[in-house]
Structure 1
Amino acid sequence: MTISWGTAPAFVGRTLADFGRDIGGRVEARLRTQLATDRARYAAVAPGSEAVVDALSTAVLSGGKRLRPSLAYLSFLGAGGSPADPRIVDVGAALELLHAGCLVHDDIMDDSPTRRGLLTTHARYQQEHQKSGYTGEARRFGEGVGMIVGDMAFFYAIGLLRTTTPETQAVFFELAVDAGVGQYLDLLAAACPADLAPDPMTIARYKTGRYTVEGPLRLGAALAGRLVELGEALTAYGQPVGLAYQLRDDLLGAFGDPSVTGKPVGDDLRQGKRTLLLGYAKQQASGSLELLEKVDAGALTEAEVPAVQRLLEDLGAREYVESTCQALAVDAVNAIEAADIDLSVKEYFKHFAAYVAGA
């Protein structure tokens, strides 16, 4: 079965993009207000102390699709929540801060120089150290600032959740810990022997899928007081869509356009990330292939990236991952049919599954 993108349904006259702009704009306003207030407060503590707040502001406000707040918002509305409820804005802001903190830390672990077309936090402060003639090692300074900024993002997220319900907080804490475990599994997979590495599908599910789709959906239902009733259906929908979302991200990491992704082409290939894409290619390869071994070892050069991309396509790895995304989207659409949520919101979820599948 193939799911077509089709035309986005309307919910009170709004398109799917309208939802993203609505909650995204409110979330950004909430974050800007909070961070501006704290910047002024910390500027009075010691000269330059406001710089760490500026770094967090850059990390969380320099672009992004605001996908997680949008999904939480739609789930909240579908479960009967009021669009005017300010608590859903706090939930959305907490999700964006969690995401920003994970990205800042992930960039350190991956030694990524850019994100969304800008220098990553640790790279920017490594450069600042070098320009300013500070003592000590510039790399350690930059990475130290990055760790602090990521931690602060998590602390801010916890603070924003104080307006919500205990059930909502419990869901958030669970998805946040899941993301941490996923990050560890990803790091472990890149370091340990291939035959001992965690399953790439498990990594995808926990590193990104849980806090990108399933978690926000459950947060919205929890805030509306209907998690017990809707949790099973939202999980059955959110798990395959979240997994497909990460698999699509893996494809972008291998084949994506830097002008779109904001990261160098083939970044994941050079870092030797053990994704489903690479795993399938190795299974299909006959004999020992030097290029795939170099990817596995994280020893690929930039000049060799195009050859690996062609190899992944020739071995059918790209097509396999794309078809897997389609199958996951079908599972998700079937699962959401039974959910007792607003019918228009349900159509949005179907629409989103098709988008993630690349239909």
Structure 2
Amino acid sequence: MTLVPAPSHSVHQAHDSHAAHLHAVEALLTDRLADLGTQWRRGTAVADTVLGDDDVPELLTTLVMSGGKRLRPQMCWWGWVAAGGCDDSPDLVRLSTALELLHAFGLAQDDVMDESALRRGVPTVHVRAGRRHRGAGATGDDRRYGESIAVLAGDLAHVEAGALVSGLPAPVRTLWWQMSVELVRGQARDLSAAALTSPDDAIGQALEVAHAKSGAYTIQRPLELGATLGGAGQDVVTALGRYGRLLGEAFALRDDLLGVWGDPDVTGKPSSDDLTAGKATVLLALAEQRCTGPARAAVDRMRGNSHDGDDVEVVRKAMESEGVRDLVEQRITRAVTDAHAVLRSAPLPPAAVEGLEAVSERIAWRRV
């Protein structure tokens, strides 16, 4: 039986509407964050005694508006197009905006857990809050204070995201809940993987963490959410889920590579940041399999969180000489090829297929 895609607008129209959608998301983000700040300060005549004007909503606003790829709104849009959507809608803008705020929730708290100093080239929320603590001459531990404020900024982003989603159709809210649980579970698994010196099936665990923590809530679920909001049939949602899982793996693996070999001037983070932090990535799991001698000893120290700067450079070089970097690049290429094959065999409008193929190329071989 020949599958006939639902009528859709042209590829050119889809891209024009896509740009307009992202513009609308930026506008709603600006409005909601401004309203959040107003509500936060309502009923009080004085500024925060430590943070001053750089209070929790302002810290969150800086995080959200300091750049970023807006990948989640993009994927949500293309899910909508895959469902046959032609024009933007207020509900779609709300959903995409909520996704970006959920992302801010994850970033603020992930930076605390990873002890990251920079995000998008600017100090992370907990670092900025800690500096305010020191500048105010406050008592107590400035680092602990900064981390606590960052957790609250993440909580505030999560609350605002939930408020945006609350009025959307029930199937969308159900999928949102599932995605949110997956995100938190992925973060918990990431912490557990880092706490074990020799985990069983290290590669499988690293891939699971990458899927739940990065790939699913960045690629797969936003696609499914956009399609569900657009009233797509189960065959479309299933195909997008398969494509999204494959591209989500490519996204997460590229993140791993950028965390070791990324250009700090482009990524906004220090070079080899993931190795310095001893993150339990697919790269590290493969290095554990392939490295011997001094390089393997350095990997073991990284697993035990007893490594130093010299170990970082030893492992980074060994990952190249032992073919680990090449293996991951090959895996990314294979995931994108398979993702494209899914698109071409699915009952999707041509505009959605072309748009999603272009997105996958940008995501898989990005520099930031």
In structure 1, distance between residues paired with 2:275 and 2:233: 39
Deviation at 1:316, TM superposition (A): 0.3
In structure 1, distance between residues paired with 2:21 and 2:210: 26
Tell me what 2:21 maps to.
Answer: 23
Q: Using a 3 Å threshold, how does the CA distance of structure 1 residues 21 and 13 change in structure 2: closer, same or farther? A: closer
Tell me what 1:337 maps to.
Answer: 344
Deviation at 1:83, TM superposition (A): 2.2
Tell me what 2:312 maps to.
Answer: 305
Q: Using a 3 Å threshold, how does the CA distance of structure 1 residues 22 and 151 change in structure 2: closer, same or farther? A: same
Q: Give TM-score, length-normalised by structure 2.
A: 0.89
Tell me what 2:4 maps to.
Answer: none
Amino acid at match of 1:294: R
Q: Give TM-score, length-normalised by structure 1.
A: 0.91
Unaligned runs of 5+ in 2: 1-9
In structure 1, distance between residues paired with 2:233 and 2:140: 51
Amino acid at match of 2:328: V
Deviation at 1:81, TM superposition (A): 2.3
Do structure 1's residue 41 and structure 2's residue 22 form an aligned pair?
no
Range 126-135 or range 74-83, more displaced:
74-83
Deviation at 1:140, TM superposition (A): 1.3
Deviation at 1:193, TM superposition (A): 2.9
Deviation at 1:43, TM superposition (A): 2.2
Deviation at 1:296, TM superposition (A): 2.0
In structure 1, distance between residues paired with 2:26 and 2:306: 39
In structure 2, distance between residues paired with 1:176 and 1:129: 32
Tell me what 2:251 maps to.
Answer: 245
Match of 1:56 among 57, 60, 74: 60
Tell me what 2:265 maps to.
Answer: 259
Deviation at 1:14, TM superposition (A): 6.1
Tell me what 1:323 maps to.
Answer: 330
Amino acid at match of 2:103: H
Any conservation in 2 of the 1:322–1:357 contact (CA below 8 Å)?
no
Q: Deviations over 1:102-122 (max 9, x none)?
A: 010000000111101111001
In structure 2, distance between residues paired with 1:71 and 1:344: 14
Q: Deviations over 1:39-60 (max 9, x none)?
A: 2233233222572111111111
In structure 2, distance between residues paired with 1:84 and 1:347: 19
Tell me what 2:187 maps to.
Answer: 183
In structure 2, distance between residues paired with 1:85 and 1:19: 11
Matches within 5 A, 1:136-285: 136-196=140-200, 199-285=205-291
Unaligned runs of 5+ in 1: 1-9
Secondary structure in 1 aligned to 2:166? helix
Deviation at 1:26, TM superposition (A): 1.2
Q: CA RMSD in A?
A: 1.9
Secondary structure in 2 aligned to 1:241? helix
In structure 1, distance between residues paired with 2:332 and 2:124: 30
Q: Using a 3 Å threshold, how does the CA distance of structure 1 residues 266 and 298 change in structure 2: closer, same or farther? A: farther
Amino acid at match of 1:179: L
Q: Using a 3 Å threshold, how does the CA distance of structure 1 residues 241 and 139 change in structure 2: closer, same or farther? A: same
Any conservation in 1 of the 2:78–2:352 contact (CA below 8 Å)?
yes
Q: Using a 3 Å threshold, how does the CA distance of structure 1 residues 136 and 292 change in structure 2: closer, same or farther? A: same
Amino acid at match of 2:358: H
Q: Using a 3 Å threshold, how does the CA distance of structure 1 residues 21 and 304 change in structure 2: closer, same or farther? A: farther
Tell me what 2:6 maps to.
Answer: none
In structure 1, distance between residues paired with 2:289 and 2:302: 14
Do structure 1's residue 354 and structure 2's residue 361 form an aligned pair?
yes
Secondary structure in 1 aligned to 2:269? coil
Tell me what 1:12 maps to.
Answer: 12
In structure 2, distance between residues paired with 1:84 and 1:349: 17
Amino acid at match of 2:38: A
Any conservation in 2 of the 1:238–1:332 contact (CA below 8 Å)?
yes
Tell me what 1:7 maps to.
Answer: none
In structure 1, distance between residues paired with 2:77 and 2:313: 40
In structure 2, distance between residues paired with 1:179 and 1:138: 28
Any conservation in 1 of the 2:283–2:325 contact (CA below 8 Å)?
yes
In structure 2, distance between residues paired with 1:332 and 1:121: 36
Identity %: 35
Q: Using a 3 Å threshold, how does the CA distance of structure 1 residues 190 and 355 change in structure 2: closer, same or farther? A: same
Tell me what 1:291 maps to.
Answer: 298
Deviation at 1:98, TM superposition (A): 0.6
Any conservation in 1 of the 2:63–2:125 contact (CA below 8 Å)?
yes
Deviation at 1:304, TM superposition (A): 4.6
Q: Deviations over 1:20-69 (max 9, x none)?
A: 64322211110111121232233233222572111111111110011110
Tell me what 1:6 maps to.
Answer: none
Secondary structure in 1 aligned to 2:215? helix
Secondary structure in 2 aligned to 1:274? coil
Secondary structure in 1 aligned to 2:333? helix
Amino acid at match of 1:97: L
In structure 2, distance between residues paired with 1:357 and 1:144: 34
Match of 2:121 among 97, 113, 117: 117
Match of 2:83 among 79, 95, 98: 79
Any conservation in 1 of the 2:197–2:303 contact (CA below 8 Å)?
no
Secondary structure in 1 aligned to 2:305? coil
Matches within 5 A, 1:82-121: 82-121=86-125
Deviation at 1:186, TM superposition (A): 0.6
Range 343-352 or range 204-213, more displaced:
343-352
In structure 2, distance between residues paired with 1:183 and 1:279: 18
